[in-house]
Amino acid sequence: MTASEGTRPLLEVDNLKVTFSTRRGLVEAVRGVSLSLQPGEMLGLVGESGSGKSVTGFAITHLLDKAGRITGGQIRFKGQDITRAGGADLRSLHGAAMAMIFQNPRAALNPIRIVGQQVADAILAHRRLSRQEALDEALQLLRAVQIRDPERRMSAYPHELSGGMCQRVMIAVAISCNPSLLIADEPTTGLDVTTQKVVMDLLARIATDRGMATILITHDLGLAARYCARVVVMEQGRLVEEAEPLTLFHRPQHPYTRRLVAASPTATSRIEDLVPDGERIPLVEITELPPPPHGTPLLLDVKTIAKRFDDGTLGVADFSMSMRGGESVGLVGESGSGKSTTSRMICRLIDPSEGEILFDGQAIGQIPARDFHRSELRKDIQIVFQDPNDSLNPRYTAFDCIAHPLLRLMNMRAGDALRQRVEECADRVGLPRELLQRFPHQLSGGQKARVGIARAIACRPRLLVLDEPTAALDVSVQAVVLQLLNKLRRQDNLAFLFVSHDLNVVRMMCDRTIVLRTGVIVEQGESRALFANPQTDYTRALVDAVPHIAPPAALATA
Amino acid sequence: MGTIGATLVRAGRRFVSSLPALFGVLVFTFLLMRVLPGDPAVFFASSPNAGQEEIEVIRKQLGLDKPLPNQLAIYLYDVGRGNLGRSMMTGQAVAKDLKERLPASLELTLTALLIALISAVPLGVLAALRPGSLVDHGVRLFCSLGVCVPTFVSGLLLIYVFYYLFGWAPDPTGRIDIFATLPPQRTGFLIIDFLLAGDLEGWWAAARQLMLPALTMALFVIAPLARITRASMLVSLGSDFVRTARSVGLSWWRIVVTYALRNAILPVITIAGIVFSTMLGANVLVEKVFSWPGVASYALDALLVSDYAPVQGFVLLMATIFVIVNLLVDVLYGIADPRATVA
Amino acid sequence: MSTIETSSTLRHTAFVLRGNPVTAVAAGGALLLALIAIFAPWLAPYDPIASEVSVALQPPSAAHWAGTDQLGRDVLSRLIVASRLDLTIAVTAVAVSFALGSVIGALCGYSGGRLDKAVGRFVDVLMAFPLFVLAMAMVAALGNRVENIVIATAIINLPFYIRFARAEVNIRRNLGWVEAARACGESHVAVVLRFLLPNVLPAMAVQMSLNLGWAILNAAGLSFIGLGVKPPTPEWGIMVAEGARFISTGRWWLVAFPGFALMFAVLCFNLLGDGLRDILDPRMRT
């Protein structure tokens, strides 16, 4: 306990317990977490949703909301017990000694105060300076976090800045009083991959330059591995493993860590590897289909479609692609690239402004989206939506959701036949039958995703459009869902149009990949080749920005 | 600088976009005149039992024999010149009558709004700062009850308590004792004119007379104002940016006032506009209860004796005031919220 | 709706009411009001219109629980009979504006475009009047009758329902499950009427309950100033208006009891509205 001055930890957390009082009684969110942090060290705190990683961070900084309470354990900062600190102690602790960076930077800044003032507020909270001096210093800080044209940005409001810019301002606020501990809670979640990398690089450099110890709270193992010297894994409020990144990836000890490491897609992983042995969904062997007879039309042939919105802006321009039955094509791009618009045009939910879409040789682009529900082909093109939380009608049970397309598109009637068919669909996606009578809010994220998939495959479509189907899911759930999709594709000889921002996922799932940027195709080609050897700067930047889980040295052994 | 310019541009644009609504109001009041029971020509005749011929002549004079669109054009032209017709009840031009009585109504409404805002905002903030406390429960109970009591009932009960039981309030009729000497008219607001004239005794009399009706009207709107203040203050206090402010150790005062309250006040500004409109309506009831010589009681008296020109004038006036108030609210909002100027 | 769902709704309602006694009391109050209105003629101890000058202006007593008015009519009997008229006006008006407003608003919110703009303009014009003044003007224009009070109240409520339904539908129209319904072969109109509207209804029901209270106040206000209902018809607003003449001489019961009746009715509907929000929100079902 009594370590010498030089190695005394900056922060020691000892058997910390946090309890929340909710409508259903007390819930223990953190159940005895112990960790310690040396000055200047960067520690990764990794876990999936509900693991208690953020709550741990908020407990350390005393920012838990009213429902949460520390019910046990001790937090020592520079040797001092701060577990029950309050009032003035807390105020001098906040900002001056420890600061926090939050997820969703735009909401974390006061929307009606110019950012320069907000940085100055933080400075003035702890130091006796004139307002002008504080503003001068705020300008220096904005420069330090590499905001371009900081003099002008000083008087900008948060809504006038991009998400990445807001996060830089947030960093400036946090470091304004040179705290010795920085806690970053999912600092780059929600930002585009390329922005993510820039912000994280900046954060890491500032921490090193100023000798700040940092706790990086994230769901992304790859991110933690890239920037942290030590990684701690949490599951359900408990700390399950602590190790250096390399050790963690190659010799994970705890079964949960093993599952997590396997589920995190890397630059080389295959779908089959995502779930550890024993829990795998057995792969369906691809029976080599006889080559389609000569003259069989392409399943989908999109010819130079474009989408112009009502306000005149061009969402998608000059987009062409084609795919054969059973093929899987990835559509990759950052936010605003037009990938969702494109997928909805192909799915015939919105009308293209120009161009032609041929499905199985039939021109379906001519049928207005408003009338497409009556088309024979409606059941052949189905879609799986991004956020499982809002892709199910809150008033429908899981059964109703899956039965809906069968009733409408297959003209089935309520009865035993329908029940059988719905149950069969549920079985195929691995949804326990007893969950069919539940409403969406009674299902977990993964279960909702399964219902969404079951609904989409219920009519046995030939083309399935997947709009970021796993973006809102935890990695371990994502792994299972990806395997499931892969199995279904092979069983039904389904064609996939897989829309995603996650390059690793697209590489695993798709034969070919198309890279979109601001509505224009930048590059396309066979997935493996495209990612191994990108031809354009943009694709290269995208590929480089993906956090690499396995360090290069390890690749050889993988 | 840029913000103020942008706000003005916004206000201008808003004014232009409120023009169709104003035009709609004009058409509506015109139609009102046409649908209202009774023949306008009969009203303008010299005596209730004027002959058919005389009425026909008047009909021609008034342009009532022309097709509707022409009549509308005539009406618009008249309104444009400030001619709102003539009241049979007072024998004066409606525009003149309204002008004389408007200050009384505005004095009442604005005083009530001031009372309501001064009491509602602190109440809402106090309740939000300690949710679940005694203060919070008290405020919520008051809000629940406040919106349920009709103004005409609370007004009468206030009279019963403060005039009949305690004798604190003066006779609840009118703005001022009819025998009192009035101050020279400058603003038309008695409590301001008395002050300007340096007549403190007169000021006290006017203020006492104003108290009960203003309180009645304020009671009615304190509840929605306090409710929205509490709700938006709660949202503000629970927001990410207040958490940020706490995380860097800003002082309690700065967090509550600069960060939470300034954001929380935005919805209150919007609601205050709506509340003002409700008060314009409630004016009719309160002025009747207290025999307040404002525009609303004028219109009401006219309505009950089937004198319709004052009613139309009143409706038009109310709608115009309402459009102006909305414009003001917009400008205020534009100053308070920088995001508003973007759209 | 299947029987399974109905019974689960009932169970959920019971569960919420148990944990929320205020709502239970408010629901009880609203039910009581409805029963009083239905059985008014049998409940009233005296004829509400028969006057007996010998007992005029008597304070509350054992014979007349709420006192008598200037014509010696029993105030309590008048209060009971008046509940019929007041509730009928409010319920009819709110039902009409709800039915029209929710459908129009939902269609506008979903389609956007020209229809939305046109309706928006119409709503703007309506909202450019102080609503009580608008109601007053309409009753004056249409004729001084009870039906016109209903119509006027319905029209001034309409903009709220249109705006409310429009906003609620607008935030949902791009959600996954709405697009999914289209992918499942539903037309635009079906999506609005069979999918979006039912999801918006809980929030609208809250609005409706709150609006009932408002409609009662509005109708009473109109008759207070002498529009719509004519004496000697018993109606709460008129009773207050008649009693107003005697308040300066201390006859409080003539104003206080009808005033209390109004307040009680409005309070019940308001509290019920707040409670309904909890009951109808399926996300809160456990």
How close is the nearest chain C Cα to the Cα of A371, in Å? 7
Cα separation of A363 and A412, whole Å?
Answer: 27
C130 touching A (Cβ < 8 Å) = no
Q: Looking at the predicted structure, is the pLDDT value of residue B177 above 80?
A: no
Please tell me if residue C66 touches chain B, with a CB cutoff of 8 Å.
no
**Structure letter (DSSP) for residue A113:** S
Where do we find the tokens 């209202």? Answer: B36
| Half-sphere exposure in the Cβ direction for B109 (13 Å, CA) | 27
Instruction: Report d(CA C69, CA C78) in Å as an integer.
Output: 10
| Chain B neighbors of A90, CB-CB under 8 A | 249
Chain B, nearest residue to A159 by Cα = B339
A387 touches chain C (CB under 8 A): yes
B220 touching chain C per CB within 8 A: no
Strand A512-517 and strand A520-526: pairing? antiparallel
CB nearest B311 (choices: C137, C241, C267)? C137
* Distance (Å, whole) CA A265 – CA C176: 26
Determine contact, residues A147/A167, Cβ cutoff 8 Å. Answer: no
For residue C129, give the nearest of B20, B31, B319 by CB distance.
B319
Q: Which residues lie below 8 Å from residue A344, measured CB to CB, with a gap of 6+?
A: A350, C179
Q: Produce one character per residue of B166-201: b if its CB has 16 or more CB atoms within 10 Å, e if not.
A: eeebbebeebbeeebeebeeeeebbbbbbbebebee
- Among chain C residues, the shortest Cα distance to A347 is held by C183
Quote the CA–CA distance of B92 and A213 in Å, as a whole number: 82
Are the CB atoms for A10 and A181 separated by under 8 Å? yes
Tokens of C286: 């456990």
Q: Is the dihedral of CA C132, C133, C134, C136 positive or negative?
A: positive
| Chain B (145-174) residues lying within 8 Å, Cβ to Cβ, of chain A | none
Stated as kind and residue range, the H or E segment containing C175 is none
A123: left (phi over 0), alpha (psi -120 to 50) or beta: alpha
Q: Are A270 and A85 in contact (CB under 8 A)?
A: no
The answer to whether the peptide bond before residue C232 is cis (omega within 30 degrees of 0) is: yes
Q: How far is B15 from chain A (nearest CA, A)?
A: 23
Per-residue confidence (pLDDT) for residue A417, from 0 to 100: 93
- Give me the residues paired with residue A322 across strands: A301
Position of tokens 């409404």?
Answer: B109
* Residue A135: alpha-carbon gap to chain centroid: 36
Q: Is A503 exposed, middle or buried (0-12, 13-18, 19+ CB in 10 A)?
A: buried
In percent, how much of chain B has pLDDT > 70? Answer: 92
Q: Which of C23, C161, C34 is nearest to C87 (CA)?
A: C34
> Who among B248, B250, B337 is closest to A112 (CB)?
B337
Q: Averaged over C144-165, what is the pLDDT?
A: 90
Element (H, E) at C44: none
Q: Global pTM?
A: 0.84
Give the Cα separation of A322 and C176 in Å (integer). 26
The 3-state secondary structure of chain B reads CHHHHHHHHHHHHHHHHHHHHHHHHHHHHHHHHHHCCCCHHHHHCCCCCCCHHHHHHHHHHHCCCCCHHHHHHHHHHHHHCCCCCECCCCCCEHHHHHHHHHHHHHHHHHHHHHHHHHHHHHHHHHHHHCCCCHHHHHHHHHHHHHCCCCHHHHHHHHHHHHHHHCCCCCCCCCCCCCCCCCCCCCCCCHHHHHHHHCCHHHHHHHHHHHHHHHHHHHHHHHHHHHHHHHHHHHHHHCCHHHHHHHHCCCCHHHHHHHHHHHHHHHHHHHHHHHHHHHHHHHHHHHHHHCCCCCHHHHHHHHHHCCCHHHHHHHHHHHHHHHHHHHHHHHHHHHHHCHHHHCC
Interface check for C1 against chain B (CB to CB < 8 A): the answer is: no
Record: contact C282-A394, CB cut-off 8 A: yes
Whether A109 sits inside 8 A of B241 (CB atoms) is yes
The interface residues of chain A toward chain B in range 58-117, judged by CB-CB distance below 8 A, are 61, 63, 65, 90-96, 99-100, 102, 104, 107-113
pLDDT single digits (tens) C33-55: 999 999 988 888 888 888 888 88
Instruction: Give C179's contacts in chain A (Cβ within 8 Å).
Output: 344, 349, 383, 385
pLDDT tens digit sequence for B187-238: 888 888 888 888 888 888 889 999 999 999 999 899 889 989 998 999 999 9
- Quick one: which of A124, A204, A109, A206 has its CA closest to A158? A109
Per-position b or e across A167-184, b if 16+ CB within 10 A of its CB: bbbbbbbbbbbebbbbbb
Question: In 3-state terms, what secondary structure has residue A330?
Answer: strand
Rounded to whole angstroms, how far apart are CA atoms A380 and A386? 20
In this predicted structure, which of A277-281, B26-30, C17-21, C71-75 has the lowest mean pLDDT?
A277-281
pLDDT in the model for residue C124: 79
Residues of chain A with Cβ-Cβ distance to C198 below 8 Å are: 395
pLDDT number for residue A457? 94
What is the separation of C-alpha B13 from the centre of its chain, rounded to a whole number of angstroms? 24
> Strands of A362-363's sheet, edge to edge?
A314-323, A300-308, A354-359, A362-363
Nearest-CA residue of chain A relative to B260? Answer: A110
CA distance C110 to C169: 6
Greater pLDDT, C152 or A311: C152
Interchain contact, C283 vs A391, CB within 8 Å = no
Helices (H), A410-474: 416-428, 445-457
3-state secondary structure of C205: helix
Residue C130 has what pLDDT?
Answer: 80
Residue with tokens 């169970």: C11
Helix, strand counts (H, E) of chain C: 12, 0
Place of tokens 């004079």: B61
Contact A513, A329 (CB under 8 A): yes
CA C249 – CA C242 distance, rounded (Å) = 13
* Cα A495 off chain centre by: 25
Eight-state DSSP code of residue A94: B
For residues A78 and A12, the answer to whether their CB atoms sit within 8 Å is no
Cβ(B138)–Cβ(B241) under 8 Å? no
The neighbours of chain B, by the rule of 3 or more Cβ pairs under 8 Å, are: A, C
A498 phi, psi to nearest 5 deg: -105, 110
Q: How many CA atoms lie within 13 A of C60 on its CB side?
A: 10
Residue (of B317, B313, B312, B320) closest to B33 by Cα position: B312
- The Cβ of residue A362 has, within 10 Å, a number of other Cβ atoms equal to 14
Chain B contact for A147, CB < 8 A? Answer: no
- Biggest CA-to-CA distance, chain C: 77
Q: Give the pLDDT confidence score for residue A4 in this predicted structure.
A: 45
Per-residue pLDDT 10s for chain A (558 aa) are 444 455 689 999 999 999 998 777 788 999 999 999 999 999 999 999 889 999 999 999 999 888 889 999 999 999 889 998 887 888 888 888 999 999 889 999 999 999 999 999 999 999 899 999 999 999 999 999 999 899 999 999 999 999 999 999 999 999 998 999 999 999 998 888 888 899 999 999 999 999 999 999 999 888 998 899 999 999 999 999 999 988 888 889 999 998 888 888 877 778 877 876 655 555 555 555 556 666 778 899 999 999 998 777 888 999 999 999 889 999 998 888 899 999 999 999 999 999 999 999 899 988 898 899 889 899 999 999 988 888 999 889 999 999 999 999 999 998 999 999 999 999 999 999 999 999 998 898 899 999 999 999 999 999 999 999 988 889 888 999 999 999 999 888 899 999 998 888 999 999 999 999 999 999 999 998 998 899 999 999 888 888 766 544 443 333
Q: Could B249 and A61 be called an inter-chain contact, meaning their C-beta atoms sit closer than 8 Å?
A: no
Is this complex's ipTM strictly greater than 0.95? no
CA distance B309 to B33: 8
Task: Report the alpha-carbon distance of residue A74 to residue A32 in Å, rounded.
Answer: 10
Nearest-Cα distance to chain B for C7, in Å, is 32
> Which residues in C230-242 are b (16+ Cβ under 10 Å) and which e?
eeebbbbbbbbbb
Residue type, A479: A
Report which residue type is found at A320. Answer: S
Helix (H) or strand (E) holding A43: strand A42-46
